[in-house]
Amino acid sequence: MFYRENGQFKSSYSSDQAIFPIAQDRAFVIGILLVAFCGVPFFINEYWANAILIPLLVYALAGLGLNILTGYCGQVSLGTGAFMAVGAYASFKLVGFFPEVNYLILIFVSGLVTAAVGVVFGLPSLRIKGFYLAVATLAAQFFLIWLFNKVGWFYDHSPTGMITVRPIDFFGVRVTGPEATPAAKYLFTLTIIATLTLTAKNIVRGRVGRSWMAIRDMDIAAELIGIKPLQAKLSAFAVSSFYIGVAGALYFGVYLGSVEPLEAFDINQSFYVLFIIIIGGLGSILGAFLGAAFIVLLPILMKNLMVGGFGVASGTAGHVEILLLGALIIFFLIVEPHGLARLWQIAKEKLRLWPFPH
Amino acid sequence: MTTHSRNETLLEVESISLSFGGVHALSDVSFDIRKGEVRSIIGPNGAGKSSMLNVINGFYHPQEGSITYQGKRRAQMKPHEAALGGIARTFQNIALFRGMSTLDNIMTGRNTKMSKGLFWQALHFGPAKREEIENREFVEHVIDFLEIQTIRKTPVGRLPYGLQKRVELGRALAAEPTLLLLDEPMAGMNLEEKEDMSRFILETNEEFGTTIALIEHDMGVVMDISDRVVVLDYGRKIAEGTPEEVRANQNVIDAYLGVSHD
Amino acid sequence: MSAVIQSEREALLSVNNIEVIYDHVILVLRGVSLEVMKGGVVALLGANGAGKSTTLKAISNLLGAERGDVTKGSITFQGEDVQSLSPNELVRRGVIQVMEGRHCFEHLTVEENLLTGAYTRTDGRSRVAEDLDLVYQYFPRLKERRTSQAGYTSGGEQQMIAVGRALMARPAVILLDEPSMGLAPQLVEEIFEIVKRLNEDEGVTFLLAEQNTMMALRYSNYGYILENGRVVMDGEASALAENEDVKEFYLGVSGDDRRSFRNVKAYRRRKRWLS
Amino acid sequence: MAFDLFLLEVVISGLMTGVMYSLVALGFVLIFKASGVFNFAQGVLALFAALALYDFLAEDGWFFAVFGFTLPVWLAIPATALIMIFLAWVIERAVLRFLVKQEEIILFMATIGLAFVLEGLGDLLFGSDVKPLDIGIPQGASDLLLDNFNLYVEKLEIVAAATAAVLVTALAIFFQKTRVGRALRAVADDHQAALSVGISLNKIWVIVWSVSGIVALVAGIMWGSKSGVQFSLSLIALKALPVLILGGFTSVPGAIVGGLIIGVGEKLAEVYVGPLVGGAIENWFAYVLALGFLLFRPQGLFGERIIERV
Amino acid sequence: MNLRKLTGVAVAAVLALPMFASHANAYELVIPTLDYRTGPYAPNGIPLANAYSDYINLLNERDGGIEGVKIKHVDCETGYNTKKGVECYENIKNTAPSRALAIQPFSTGITYQLIPKSAVDEIPIFSMGYGRTSAANGKVFPWVFNFPATYWSQATALVQYIADQEGGMASLKGKKIYLVYHNSAYGKEPIRTLEALAEKYGFEYRGLPVDHPGQEQKATWLQIRKERPDWVLMWGWGVMNQVAIKEAASIRFPMDRFIGVWWSGSENDVLPAGEAADGYLSGAFHAAGGDFALHDDIRKYVYDKGMGAGDRDRIGEVLYNRGLVAVMWTVEAIRNAMKIHGTKEVTPAMVRDGFESLEVDEARLAELGLKDFTYGIKITCENHEGPGRVAVQQWDAKAKKWSMVSKFYEPLREITAPLIEADSMAYAKENNVTPRTCS
């Protein structure tokens, strides 16, 4: 249609560096945000909040975090599940210690705690690369989960080792537990995620982001032009873990409400988030959202289609769902190995030319 | 030919020896680089030229010998220390960051000149933004200088070889280096591109006073643009001097030029 | 030089107006045609990125692995259309490529490297053994090092391994990509000498891509010059070597009055003003 | 004295468990060497092989339903091997050939997708009940050792160790002495060059995935005899990962030695350190052991030293 | 652009399907189940789910439902995964026309997840023989039921059984009783109780955790071989059970001194070990075997009509029977709700009342075709656990049959009651729940 950048001139570097230099893109994103903030809360019900939108947002945030580490800095990690657990347990303990402090601050601090843990487990990245590093992060995965499962202090010595979120009010509005309204939970999550997405975009388009990408694309050359690998990698681990930690805190507090470490944060969780960024697109902020949409929505979509639509028995549908999900992952990787974000980009480029081929 | 005083030594390499698991890459090599000159290092394949550059900017750590740079003498330094000290370089097999645009690649060259931390970066407001724009201005000068305005936003992976070499030079120049190391800047170029590259090298040298040390196979280029040449063969220095002196040196003729040039 | 006249022989290999696109977007070759006569040594010249390697890979069908496609034109070998054949089928029929940068199997010994060249052959062990001896005859240095790992041999030796490995397939034509790359002048000469001997004594046809224009024209009998994915000039090697334009643009030598690189900038500045 | 005997028992069972891990790791290594694919589906391959084998042997399987008889073990194993070869062929046709030249992580993802497909398929075809696999491998402790020396060693694991030894020897001969083995090593070194000398990568992938499938079959038989054939069999892949980082992704001897070290290490840790900290440490201990090792040798036990160049 | 919009609408429509797919048909009773026929625990989930489905089909076929009102069975696949469980719950809880009358989560994780929600959504949760033990306190957990017995009661019952074999509670002193447990919330349940019992009766207790999935237990059983405990208890699940039984046999640990929880006592667990499993013990609160009158009816009304959910010859397996008893009690609670509220169109809240005053005595069991299948229960406002009685059953490997070898032990309430009180009150405090008064 009229998706053109002709006639949009930039007269300063700052407008050239804007996140969406093209006016139509800006309008599109503002539109989406308007709908998300002002439209959706009026229509949302428990199913859409608890089963679809909140998991989608939380996983997008975790994906964003992992994408910073893997997509931007090139360090493959399989410890996402454990880092989410750190965020969850940190927020659990913090809420216990400081019930009066604003939940948002506690979530932020949980992110910082996770960042610190992430830095410690990021240290091996200075010597180990590629898949070796990926497998090494599994050490973090297994060790941390063991710790949370074993040390009673972390779960307030509950007899089963599960932790359950307390009802928490945020400026007088209940945001956790069953009494929170879907709209409150959703808006709380959405606000945090929208803010963190913006900061992530800011970081990756600035100096720090460039040094990550330099390390990712060619670590030796990066070092030779004066980027300190130690600083770049560990800052990526820290920022990534911060995001994942916040995601973990929301995953526990707002989404699930009660978790058992071995199940909620197990290695599948790590793979799940890795799927999100690979399907969505490595090194793309948008990719984390698209990937999360794919991974969270697709199984639900398939299930509803098979069970609700065609009356397939739910067990059989479960098997078919796994099979189809696998097949679709392979299919998408074959069609576009760089993920949904790249597909979107290509679509936009075509749209820019449309209806004239050149 | 130029007006710089060329007597002050910028960098001195003293009896450097380097080996990898018993294979000697460099043995007892000494030479110096004076402020403001164009210094070429030549030699047949495997002579240890690249290793020499790698030693100078701290990527390899020699077993013996020392390097004096800007009056400071040391056995070894870390690569980013060298970068902070004003040593920039390009690579034989283009080491650009393929996933990033031309602009971002050259901006990484400004990394050592930027300091605002994560917090300001995340806000992208105030100091961080100001710093970004200041450095962007400098980078735009480099882009103008190298005449690569049109590819500013293109991912470097999609650029043809010759342009990639130019972007890489841009990345090195963005650091405002005192000493610029160029590893085979002409490799794989046609005549026109070689001419362009020579022009950029000489203009950098003349206009910014940057000292240049380069490795090159194309004898025509080397002889034309260098002030002094050092010749390595099998990890040893076999000759040193002005292009004319080197061209006349019998060792060099035997070892390097051989009989292949009619 | 055994002065083979290109046009008098039958074409062993002919490339007709091919177009190659990488990644569905990047057009690398825009209509390249060439012919290689039986028993000839044909040089493919041009700057880096002109499309030499792509042309060779299009012939040996190694493009697929790099997401490249031949979208137009045809390639025939011994009169048959070979475009759809897989690389291994091509090798079986006698077209083998020695890739740029040599690509030896680093962890295999020199001899194992050579033997992999005979992978497609089905004519029995003894024939393969004979050919191994033949290769050793041409490359005595390889015989000395037959049990060492290829990764530990020098650049020149690796180039010999690569050529020898190709010979082991008993090819009709060898596509030789940048044999001089990264080699000292003496070694380049040595390699070209062997190419010449193989051509004359064993009747192997060569199509070689080379940047070292002078050297290549000295050892070949016909040449094509590529620029930006097109053939811009072709002719007898000797004629090309004498051609003034070729000298000007590709050799950078025009007798004694060669422009100095130091003075280029003045000339370039002028050019910039003019354009 | 009794204590020393116990230590010996722990070490032996560690070694034996290690062999079982090695069987899985071996399949990983083969595929990674030849195609650079980090095959996460290896565990599911083992499960699939065991399911298929069970199907030939049992009366509630498809084979019996179609043909009305079951196969004897000596026929069922080769028949399953054929199925694994067929599977390798399908995987090459449907997945690998479209993903040539992609980055490692993309291929890795694709194998996870493949794992899902096989898991779903296995469940759909064979059901998710536990299937006892009995191909005549003796079960339980070796009475001979237990009665005479009070030493506890599982018979199954002795068989597994012997099988692994035979398997590795056969593989070594195959790789070093045959034309195809040489081609496989060539492909592992340099895909492009292998292609250029006329080695068909597609064929090589089918071969190497078949070999891996057969190794998975052996692993599946051993683990299936030990714990029945069911979904969890696919999770042994996770136990093979620390073995891989320890031994190096490309080294067959590494997979064996790595397996033994991990096996012994985790058993010693669990038995002697576990009680002090609450137990169940063997899972993470294996990873920490491998990680600690990596910090000193980033390329793994038998991996080659990486010299970085620019 | 249009295509994108269209896809968007389609996606939204399909996602929304479960919400609008309400039919305006006659009133039906909605009984949902959260099944797991996939994933690592599927072998156990399948018989449970089959029994649910079979029993509901039987009632619809034979009796036309409950008191003549048809039952609508809605199942949702969770794969034993909490996140899927959440989606399932949200998806099915409002299923028209009656809404979900009672939720059977069949997973400890999902149960914990749903406990706080149940009070808000006003849907009773029946976590039969699993879930949160302290939910037995009906004053704090009015919406959760976990009869007929809890893990803590079971732990005391098993220890009583041990004492009986050793010659009385006093002879427990100095004995070594070890616990091999699934290293998860479920597996950790009995630890508190066993610690309290060990303290009281002077036996030595030690826990040996086994990580999911538990295929490799060498280290655990080597320790048992070395330290030779007198008894080994097991809180296992899935493949862990059968591996443990095999390992125990290998080190020649006497099977009749090895007792599993009721989730470690099904055919799936013992069959793989073959002869070696002979004599293995496990907790139980209902009988095994498929020769009760109810089973005959199921064969007749369901399987003969080709509506059976599973294999005909697997009717009567332990976990199948467990599913049966669960759905039977659920149905009785609904029936009870109809009775006390005098309407056939019950709501979940009425069914909660039905649960809270549920009484299924031996006579009623016999009517249902389950004579001697289990014991009678009576639920009250404060006690949601019911009688809490547990017996021990033993595996006969030759006959491939489980049979009861003990009486039903009454739980040692003096041990469990304070624990339940403490844990439930802690929950009440954290979640601002004011315990209701029962009388």
Residue D140 contacts E, CB cutoff 8 Å: yes
For Cα atoms B19, B21, B26, give the angle at the middle one, nearest 5 degrees: 15
Residues on chain D touching B171 (C-beta within 8 angstroms): none
Beta bridge partners of E403: E394
| A residues 131..150 contacting B (CB < 8 A) | none
Would you say residue E20 lies in a domain?
no
Q: Which residues of B touch C (CB under 8 A)?
A: 1, 44-46, 158, 160-162, 188-196, 198-199, 202-203, 220-221, 224-225, 256-261
Q: At what angle do helices D42-57 and D2-35 cross, to 10 degrees?
A: 100
**Between residues A128 and A245, which one has the greater pLDDT?**
A245
Q: Does C232 touch chain B (CB under 8 A)?
A: no
Domain range for C114:
3-38+46-172+183-189
Q: Which residues contact A259 (CB under 8 A, 6 or more apart)?
A: A88, A162, A163, A251, A252, A265, E82, E109
Secondary structure E strands in chain A: 163-164, 169-170, 173-174, 258-259
E201 with E267, same domain: the answer is yes
Give residue E396's identity as a one-letter amino acid code.
D
Question: Average pLDDT, stretch E349-368?
Answer: 95
Instruction: Count CB neighbours of E424 within 10 A.
Output: 22
C202 lies in some domain: no
In this structure, the number of other CB atoms found within 10 A of the CB of residue A27 comes to 11
Task: State the best of D103, D105, D304, D310 to mutate against chain B, taking most chain B CBs within 10 Å.
Answer: D310
Is residue E5 within 8 angstroms of chain D, CB to CB?
no
| Tens digits of residue pLDDT in A270-322 | 988 998 999 999 999 999 999 999 999 998 998 888 887 787 888 888 889 88
When divided into structural domains, chain C yields a total of 1
Show the CA angle centred on residue C256, arms to residues C253 and C260, nearest 5°: 65
Which candidate, E207, A300, C129, B173, places its Cα nearest to that of D275?
E207
**pLDDT tens across A70-122, in order?**
999 999 999 999 999 999 999 999 999 999 999 999 999 999 999 999 999 99
Q: Which pLDDT score is estimated for A115?
A: 97
Rounded to the nearest angstrom, the minimum Cα separation between B97 and chain D is: 13
Residue C1 C-beta-side C-alpha neighbours within 13 Å: 16
Tokens of E404: 């009861």
Give A329→chain D minimum CA distance, Å: 6
Neighbours of D, requiring at least 3 CB pairs below 8 Å, are A, B, C, E
Residues E279 and E408 in one domain: yes
Instruction: Check pLDDT > 90 for residue A68.
Output: yes
Interface touch A222/B98, C-beta < 8 Å: no
Burial of B223 from C-beta contacts in 10 A (0-12 / 13-18 / 19+): buried
CA A261 to chain centre: 19
Q: What is the Cα–Cα distance from D287 to A145, expressed in whole angstroms?
A: 13
Q: What is the pLDDT of residues B144-160, one digit of tens each?
A: 888 888 888 888 887 87
* Amino acid (1-letter code) at residue E381: C
Angle at E267 between CA E261 and CA E272, to 5 degrees: 105
Q: What is the pTM of this model?
A: 0.90
Contacts of E170 (CB under 8 A, 6+ apart): none
pLDDT at E125 over 90: yes
Residue E202 placed within a domain: yes
My answer on whether E257 and E181 are in the same domain is: yes
Pairwise CB contact (< 8 Å): E1 & A1: yes
Exposed/middle/buried for residue E68 (C-beta within 10 Å: 0-12, 13-18, 19+): exposed
Cis peptide before A355 (omega within 30 of 0): yes
Q: How close E69 gets to chain A, by Cα (Å)?
A: 23
Token pair 């309407």 in the structure block, residue: E343
Closest CA to D251 of D286, D300, D310: D300
**A152 in contact with D at a CB cutoff of 8 Å?**
no
- What is the distance between the alpha carbons of residues A284 and A305, in angstroms, rounded to a whole number? 30
Residues E56 and E204 in one domain: no
Closest CA to C253 of B262, A175, E396, D121: B262
Strands A169-170 and B9-20: unpaired
Pairing mode, strands E29-35 and C173-177? unpaired
The secondary element (H helix, E strand) that includes residue D88 is: helix D73-94
| Contact (CB<8Å) B162/C252 | no
Handedness of CA C68, C74, C76, C80 (dihedral sign): positive
Query: Could you tell me if D287 and A139 are in contact, meaning their C-beta atoms sit under 8 angstroms apart?
Result: yes
* Main-chain dihedrals φ then ψ at residue C69, nearest 5 degrees: -140, 140
C11 to chain D, minimum CA–CA distance in Å? 23
pLDDT of residue E359: 95
Q: What are the sequence ranges of the domains in chain D?
A: 2-296
Q: Do A50 and E120 touch (CB under 8 A)?
A: no
Please indicate, yes or no, if residue C144 is contained in any of the structural domains: yes
Contact A103, A175 (CB under 8 A): yes
Question: Mean pLDDT, 10 residues at a time, over chain D (310 residues)?
Answer: 75 90 90 86 93 91 88 93 95 88 84 92 86 84 79 87 91 89 89 89 91 94 86 83 86 89 93 88 89 80 62
E335 within a domain of the structure (yes/no): yes
CB distance D271–E215 less than 8 Å?
no
E345: left (phi over 0), alpha (psi -120 to 50) or beta: beta
Distance CA(D221)–CA(C217), nearest Å, equals 64
Question: In which band, very low, low, confident or very high, does the pLDDT at B255 lie, cut at 50, 70 and 90?
Answer: low
B122 vs A203, A218, A224: nearest CB: A203
Helices (H), chain B: 49-56, 79-84, 102-109, 118-123, 127-146, 161-174, 191-208, 219-225, 243-248, 250-252
Query: What is the span of the domain harbouring residue E174?
Result: 151-286+391-415
Choose from C90, C103, C110, C114 for mutation: most chain D CBs within 10 A. Answer: C103
D310 and B54 within 8 Å at the Cβ level: the answer is: yes
E378's enclosing H/E stretch is strand E377-378
Neighbouring chains of E at 3+ CB pairs under 8 Å are A, D
d(CA E176, CA A30): 68
Distance CA C133, CA C116 (A): 15
Of E271, E327, E335, E293, the closest CA to residue E49 belongs to E327
Q: Is the pLDDT confidence value at E7 over 60? A: no
In chain E, which residues have their Cβ closer than 8 Å to the Cβ of D152? 222, 225, 250-251
pLDDT in tens, chain C (275 residues): 344 444 455 789 999 999 988 766 667 888 899 999 999 999 998 766 678 889 999 999 888 767 788 888 999 999 889 988 889 999 999 999 998 877 889 889 999 999 999 999 888 889 999 999 999 999 998 998 889 888 888 778 888 999 999 999 999 999 999 887 767 667 888 889 999 999 999 899 999 998 777 788 889 999 998 877 889 889 999 888 888 777 655 544 434 455 677 776 555 543 443 33
CB atoms within 10 A of CB A253: 30
- CB within 8 Å: A146 and D283: yes
Q: Are the Cβ atoms of D310 and B20 closer than 8 angstroms?
A: no
Domains in chain B with CATH codes: 1-86+177-262 (3.40.50.300), 100-175 (no CATH)
Answer yes or no: is E252 within a domain.
yes
Distances (CA, A) of B143 to B104, D74, E285: 12, 72, 81
Contacts of B44 in chain C (CB under 8 A): 184-185
Contact between E250 and D279 using a beta-carbon 8 Å cutoff = no
Return the CA Rg of chain E. 22
Number of inter-chain CB pairs under 8 A, C vs D? 84
- D191 in C contact zone (CB under 8 Å): yes
CA atoms of A102 and A170, how far apart (whole Å) = 7
One domain, residues E248 and E323: no
Q: Which CATH class is domain D2-296?
A: mainly alpha
Verify whether the Cβ–Cβ distance E90 to A158 is below 8 Å.
no
| A334 contacts D98? CB cut-off 8 A | yes
Give D166 to chain E, closest Cα distance, Å. 24
Looking at the complex, does the CB of residue C98 fall below 8 Å from at least one CB of chain D? yes
Alpha-carbon gap, residue B114 to B137, rounded angstroms: 13
Interface-testing mutation among B195, B226, B233, B256, with chain C (most C C-beta atoms within 10 A): B195
Return the partners of chain A (3 or more C-beta pairs < 8 Å): B, D, E
Burial of B73 (0-12, 13-18, 19+ CB in 10 A): exposed
User: Who contacts A238 (Cβ-Cβ below 8 Å, separation ≥6)?
Assistant: A115, A116, A118, A119, A122
| ipTM score for this prediction | 0.88
**Chain B, nearest residue to D307 by Cα:** B20
- At residue E208, φ and ψ (nearest 5 deg) are -120, 105
Q: Which among B220, B217, B224, B261 has a CA at the least distance from the CA of B242?
A: B224
Instruction: Report pLDDT digits (tens) over E9-48.
Output: 555 555 555 544 444 457 899 999 999 988 888 889 999 9
Contact D300 A324 (CB under 8 A): no
Answer whether C22 touches D (CB < 8 Å): no
Residue of D nearest to C175 (CA): D196
In three-state secondary structure terms, B6 is coil
- Chosen for mutation from A66, A69, A146 (greatest number of chain D CBs closer than 10 Å) is A146
Q: Give me the CATH number covering residue C166.
A: 3.40.50.300
How many separate helices (H) and strands (E) can be counted in chain A?
17, 4
CA D143 from chain centre, in angstroms, equals 28
Q: List Cβ neighbours of D113 (8 Å cut-off, separation of 6 or more).
A: A325, A326, A327, A328, A329, A330, A333
Contacts of E120 in chain A (CB under 8 A): 178-179
DSSP 3-state assignment of E144? strand
For the beta carbon of residue D222, count every other beta carbon within 10 angstroms.
26
**Min distance E61 CA to chain A CA atoms (Å):** 19
DSSP string, C202-258: I--EEEEEES-HHHHHHH-SEEEEEETTEEEEEEEHHHHHH-HHHIIIII--BTB-P
Q: Which of C183, C250, C261 is closest, CB to CB, to B195?
A: C261
E155 and E258 in a single domain? The answer is yes
* Lookup: tokens for A355: 């209806």
Chain D residues lying within 8 Å of A135, measured CB to CB: 241-242, 244-245, 287, 290
- Structural domain count, chain E: 2
pLDDT of residue A6: 64
